A and B are shown apart, each in its own frame.
Chain A
Amino acid sequence: MKDESSGSSSANGRLKRSFAYRFISALSRIRRRRRPSSFYRGSRRIKRAADASMAYAVGSRRAWSRAILRRLRVTRPGSGRYPSTVMIKNQKKKKKKVPIILKPCESRAEKLRSLIPGGESMDLCSLLDETAHYIRCLSTQVQVMQNIADRLCS
């Protein structure tokens, strides 16, 4: 147990460092090629950068990070109409969906599925597994971003 905990903490540290490095370089890149854009678009770009750097830091081991990377690849700003077609597909799917009455627990699982990237196609077991990892990474992300913001503000 001790070994495991120490290993996980060191892995967490590596993740933190890698994420911080990626995110900071992304921030600097964003700043350098700044275009006149609205505040919200800029914030969305930074959020995107944060997600991407988190996903890259995690790598392709996890389903959720793979999903984020796939989404990024599909909705890359330079890459034409992909997002719109994806949107259309999704809308079609939604229209076809028949409302199913679920158990409360099931509906919650569905909600969780919608929250976790790439969770739509998972079974409950792996969904919970991914959720645990995702929560860990999200809290790391929040921590690091908080630190960076503090540092930049001060």
Chain B
Amino acid sequence: MDPSSLIHESSFPASNTSTSAYNLAEIWQFPIDSGAVTDSAPILGIQPAARRATYPQALPFADAPLPNNRDVSVEESTVTEHSGRSGGRKRRDSASEDESSKLVSTSSGNDMQDYNGKRLKVGGSKDENGELKADVEASSGNGNKPTEQCAPPEPPKQDYIHVRARRGQATDSHSLAERARREKISERMKILQDLVPGCNKVIGKALVLDEIINYIQSLQRQVEFLSMKLEAVNSRMNPSIEGFPTKDFGMQTFDASAMAFGSQAPREYGQGSQPEWLHMQLPNLSSYEYDYTSVLGGTFSALTNAYAALALTNAYGALALTNAYGALALTNAYGALTLLNLWCFTPRHLWCFGAI
């Protein structure tokens, strides 16, 4: 290590070591000391300038065809740096750590690092370092600029170009974009999984999509069914009594917010356990209904609990809910008797009168 570094120190001009070597060395910190240093060092020492000139062009293809060249040049740069300043290595490490931490803070950079790390572990430590280099350059490109502008000689400029080439490599940016896209998709899939009931246990994108499709279809079918049901109910309402203005309609008969947030009252009627089932719906009823209840209060009080329950659950619930047409026919059949003009509970009372 030491003798080779000494050789490089001697062969390089001072300005080169101060600027360019810093850049390269900052990037290629780890890999260098391993294999071919001692063998190839003398060769390098002979023609450093030529190497530098060819290096940028060679680099995009450097992974496969020219592994030796790249290793050697890298070693060269780091070694010179090493010999130039004794404490430089540590300083560089801390600097690169800072940069890597910066990268971690931005999501895309982090993703890329992870991704590259995963992919390149197979390939070997060399490539991993290469990716790290690319990351560092991406973040520190601006920081390096002023020093390079200050330094007159060519090699640093070439280094910069090489940085640009490495950075602007098409596959990298594409893979980065692809990575970001996949991240986004998986994130949204997770949201959807949380949204669709029973989808958390399902593993696999295709099955999750199946679940989502089924759920949406069921929801749409439900909407269709409910619209049929509402049509049945709506058509039952006599248009002649709908004289009252929409405001009243909105305010009183249909308490919009109450409906939106779903008071539990209507469902409890079906159980028929409340004797005051009539009075429970009073606050939301229109004035018509209120009058009606006061007029016919005696009749209703005469009704027993069981009677009301029968009327609600058997007659109306079963017929109207399961067979909307049935309910429609029912109301039509009793249309003659609908003198009470109350869509809300005329039919079912008529029905229960008829039933008993």
The chain A residues found within 8 Å of chain B, CB to CB, are 13, 16-17, 19-21, 24-25, 27-32, 34, 39, 42-47, 50, 104-105, 108-109, 111-112, 115-116, 124-125, 128-129, 131-132, 134-136, 138-139, 141-154
Contact = CB atoms under 8 A, between A and B. Distances in A.
13 contacts: A20-B257, A27-B234, A30-B234, A32-B239, A46-B228, A46-B231, A115-B220, A125-B184, A128-B192, A132-B192, A144-B259, A145-B230, A147-B260
Contact of A153 (B242, B254, B320): B320
Nearest to A104: B206
Nearest to B210: A108
A142 B215 contact: no
Contacts of B224: 43, 47
B42 interface: no
Contacts of A145: 223, 226-227, 230
A39 B325 contact: yes
Secondary structure at chain B's binding surface: helix, strand, loop or mixed?
helix
Contact of A25 (B213, B250, B325, B344): B250
What interface size band does chain B fall in? 35 or more
Given A115-B216, A149-B229, A136 B266 contact: no
B301 interface: no
Interface string B273-284: 000000001001
A136 B195 contact: yes
Interface in B226-255: 226-235, 237, 239, 242, 246, 249-250, 254
A1 B267 CA distance: 34
Contacts of A129: 188
B212 A112 contact: yes
Contacts, number: 170
A142 B205 CA distance: 27
Contacts of B121: none
B207 to A, nearest CB: 9
Interface in B116-142: none
A30 B242 CA distance: 11
Contact of B260 (A116, A142, A144): A144
Contacts of B345: 154
A135 B220 CA distance: 10
B223 A47 contact: yes
B196 interface: yes
Given A128-B191, A150-B267, 8 more contacts: A20-B256, A108-B209, A115-B220, A129-B188, A132-B192, A135-B216, A147-B262, A153-B229
Contacts of B233: 149, 152-153
Given A31-B242, A143-B262, A153-B266, A132 B188 contact: yes
A125 B192 contact: no
Nearest to B221: A142
A138 B265 CA distance: 23
B235 A42 contact: yes
Contact of B249 (A28, A142, A154): A28
B209 A151 contact: no
Contacts of A146: 226, 262
Contacts of A109: 209
Nearest to A111: B213
A50 B192 contact: no
B206 A24 contact: no
